[in-house]
Amino acid sequence: MSDFLLEIGTEEIPHWMVPGALEQLAKLDLFGATVHVDATSRRLTVWASGVPDRTADSEQVLKGPPLTSGDKAAEGFAKKQGADVSALRKVGNYYELVKRVEGRPVRDILAETLPGFVLGLQWPKTMYWTGGKTGPRFIRPIRWLVALLGSDVIPFEIAGVKTGNVTRGHRILGSSAIPVTTANYEAELRKNGVILSSSERRKKIEAEAMALGANIEPELRETLTFITEWPTAIRGDFHPDYLGLPAEVLTMVMRHHQKYFSVETEPGKLAPHFVAILNTNDDPDGLVKNGNERVLKARFNDARFFWDVDQQKRLADRVDDLAKVTFQAKLGSYKEKTDRTVALVKELGGDADAQRAALLAKCDLVTDMVKEFTDLQGIVGGLYARAQGENEAVASAIYSHYKPLSMEDSIPGTRNGLIVALADKLDTLRGCFKIGLVPTGSKDPFALRRAAQGVVKILVEGKLEYTLDSLVEGELKAFMIERIQHYFREVRGFKWDEVNAVLASGCGTLVDVEARLTALAAVRPTSNFEPLAASFKRTSNILKQANFKPSGPLNVTMLESGPEAELHVAFDAVRAATKGEGYQQALEVVATLRPKLDLFFDKVMVNVPDEQLRANRLTLLHELLTEFSTIADFSEIVTSGEQK
């Protein structure tokens, strides 16, 4: 048994790709040993202890020629396998050879397989750097390789780089040639300015930044964890005058452009400081602080300049400029999109403020501020609208009309905001589907899934009472239903079959779907429910098999006394009792049908030879199923007996 170490030394890997690479590296097969992985900005490391030095011997059974093919064939087969003919066995009608396969040194096996494993890692974008286009591809050039099993180097080569036992430290803080063993690898790295453990770097960033008052933003913290080898936090300052700029702009500049944490005096109130994370251990002369402060000042000056210049032309005067900005080649400019969105807002019952917001919503795309800080689209429009005297309803609707940007993001906070956000996304969806830009697999360049998900979230959580059919049709409707299912299952946690059951009863408004789902999930654990669902499924199957279409109303006089008539009485009673009830109460009452329905199936034969009688019984079942399937189609419920 030996310890194993593999370090792939590269030039700086894009931070956002590292976690995905680690997941793949953890799948390295080390013959049963537990695999550990970690990474910094310029190394990917895999290690394990207890890796066997040899694989075990094994036996391989090889099927030979048929007995009828004669001695020559048998000899030939044995010879080819390097065995004596006497070693052959006769099994059934064939010769057979049990071949002993000797175990092999794991070092040899790894030397053969590791190059393919390393180059087989999947990256969102790769490059070649040696050997032309047919040369090896990786995320960035591989510059060194450490591969050890015990004290032996596992010999192989990738892209002209040979494995060895020599690693490299931090670009500035460490040595560029450090001999290591499996035992001292991490400690040697630490001496040379590299903290291998990403979780340790993460904690260091968080602890130091928080001590300096930083407002820790998790996504930025992750970026910084993988962009560094030795992170250190420092605090810098900016002139309080800049606090006159909107907090959104200041935060965007700090966070997205400069990768700084912002500092708040109290929640929501920025302080004139920032926290930067260095990839080094110290700022002895304050030069790094000074440099970062100067960059930030220049950035803030730019933002102020953009703000001032942009105010010289009101949003309302920029509507026609949108004709110069392409939305999509076949769907025309943003001016055309704006016209469509305004019309749609009107159609959706949006008031004058909502229509005004839709008209101005995209105008910030032609401002200098948004050209520079694209992520602030919408937000800048809202801030400008407010500064230019548009009323608050208009300004806030513009501000929030890109929301929700993700499933975690909130929806717009006002009804006008909801309608404008809905119309904007719907227009994109309708337009793209009309010209065949439908997302396939991982390809979704117009982020239509996100738009559709946004529509679902707005309709449900914004409690907007538009029916799905009034908003979408055809292929887009099918696409929306997928997103509705996704939303209720993944985001809201409803069970797979509950969502199927409710949607099978029709979609209507999503507010209604949510109410029916909530009722169904609440009733589901009660004792009568699942057996009733099973009976409904049976009912549905019987009707399906009979290919039944009702030809008239139920003939009550034909009902047999006993379970059939009793079921009918119970059915009438339940029907009366559910009228006007909420979904949950209705479902609870329906569940009480269970004993009568069970008894019916137990005692009454549906498929009787008498055609009239059979038709009447099927009619009874059909009415019952139709009546009680408006909330959910119970036949979609997977009952415990069926679960795989």
Partner 1 sequence: MDTFQETILKLKRYWSDRGAVLQEPHDIEVGAGTNSPETFLRVLGSKPYRVGYVQPSRRTADGRYGENPNRLYKHHQFQLILKPSPDDVLDLYLGSLKAIGIDLEKHDIKLEEDNWEAPTLGAWGVGWQVMLDGLEITQFTYFQQVGGIDLELVPAEITYGLERIVAFLQNVDSIYDIVWAPGVKYGDVRFADELQYSVYNFEMANVDRLWRLLGEHEAECKELLAMYADSPDKRRFPVLPTYDHVLKCSHLFNLLDARGAISVTERVGVIKRVRDLAVGTAKIWTDQQSQEVSA
List contacts with partner 1 (CB under 8 A).
11-12, 14-16, 41, 125, 127-130, 132-133, 140-141, 143, 171-172, 176, 227-228, 258-260, 276, 278-280, 283-285, 287-288, 290-292, 294-298, 301-302, 305, 323-326, 329, 333
We find the least distance from the C-beta atom of residue 218 to partner 1, in angstroms, to be 19
- Of 424, 586, 391, the closest CA to residue 505 belongs to 586
Quick check: 505 and 633 in contact, CB under 8 A? Answer: yes
We find the least distance from the C-beta atom of residue 156 to partner 1, in angstroms, to be 18
DSSP structure string for 443-462: B-TT-HHHHHHHHHHHHHHT
SS3 call for 224 = helix
User: Residue 289 and residue 234: Cα distance in Å, rounded?
Assistant: 7
Longest Cα pair distance anywhere in the chain, in angstroms? 102
Quick check: 163 and 27 in contact, CB under 8 A? Answer: no
Q: Which is nearer to partner 1, 305 or 496 (CB)?
A: 305
We find the least distance from the C-beta atom of residue 298 to partner 1, in angstroms, to be 5
- CA 79-83-88 angle, 5° bins: 100
Quick check: 345 and 354 in contact, CB under 8 A? Answer: yes
User: Residue 557 and residue 237: Cα distance in Å, rounded?
Assistant: 90
**Residue 460: beta bridge partners?**
none
**What is the distance between the terminal CA atoms of the chain, rounded to a whole angstrom?**
41
We find the least distance from the C-beta atom of residue 135 to partner 1, in angstroms, to be 8
- Extended strands (E) in 79-140: 89-91, 94-101, 127-128, 137-138
- Of 390, 395, 374, 388, the closest CA to residue 325 belongs to 374
**Sequence-separated (6 or more) residues with CB below 8 Å from residue 153:** 147, 163, 164, 165
We find the least distance from the C-beta atom of residue 98 to partner 1, in angstroms, to be 51
We find the least distance from the C-beta atom of residue 257 to partner 1, in angstroms, to be 9
Q: Which is nearer to partner 1, 144 or 571 (CB)?
A: 144
We find the least distance from the C-beta atom of residue 295 to partner 1, in angstroms, to be 4
- CA 63-68-72 angle, 5° bins: 80
Q: How far is CA 72 from CA 77, 92, 357, 556, 628, in A?
A: 9, 19, 90, 86, 77
We find the least distance from the C-beta atom of residue 330 to partner 1, in angstroms, to be 12
Q: Which is nearer to partner 1, 273 or 622 (CB)?
A: 273
User: Residue 496 and residue 509: Cα distance in Å, rounded?
Assistant: 20
Preceding peptide of 404 cis, ω within 30°: yes
Q: Which is nearer to partner 1, 307 or 479 (CB)?
A: 307
Token look-up 């449900």 returns 460
We find the least distance from the C-beta atom of residue 258 to partner 1, in angstroms, to be 5
We find the least distance from the C-beta atom of residue 292 to partner 1, in angstroms, to be 4
Q: Which is nearer to partner 1, 234 or 472 (CB)?
A: 234
We find the least distance from the C-beta atom of residue 304 to partner 1, in angstroms, to be 11
Q: Which is nearer to partner 1, 368 or 512 (CB)?
A: 368
We find the least distance from the C-beta atom of residue 465 to partner 1, in angstroms, to be 38
We find the least distance from the C-beta atom of residue 338 to partner 1, in angstroms, to be 14
Q: Which is nearer to partner 1, 101 or 172 (CB)?
A: 172
Cβ burial, residue 576 (10 Å; 0-12/13-18/19+): exposed
Backbone angles phi, psi at 76, to 5 degrees: -60, -45
Sign of the dihedral defined by the CA atoms of residues 383, 389, 392, 393, in that order? negative
We find the least distance from the C-beta atom of residue 148 to partner 1, in angstroms, to be 22
**Residue 178: beta bridge partners?**
167
We find the least distance from the C-beta atom of residue 324 to partner 1, in angstroms, to be 6
Q: Which is nearer to partner 1, 195 or 455 (CB)?
A: 195
Q: How far is CA 148 from the centre of its chain?
A: 37
SS3 content of the chain, % helix, strand, coil (to 5): 50, 15, 30
Backbone angles phi, psi at 39, to 5 degrees: -160, 155
SS3 call for 95 = strand
Quick check: 304 and 320 in contact, CB under 8 A? Answer: no
Q: Which is nearer to partner 1, 322 or 393 (CB)?
A: 322
Q: Which is nearer to partner 1, 278 or 407 (CB)?
A: 278
Q: Which is nearer to partner 1, 288 or 573 (CB)?
A: 288
Residues in the chain: 644
Q: Which is nearer to partner 1, 78 or 276 (CB)?
A: 276
How many CA atoms lie less than 13 Å away from 431 in the CB half-sphere? 22
Q: Which is nearer to partner 1, 140 or 450 (CB)?
A: 140
Q: Which is nearer to partner 1, 118 or 468 (CB)?
A: 118
Helix 218-226 × helix 18-25 angle, to 10°? 70
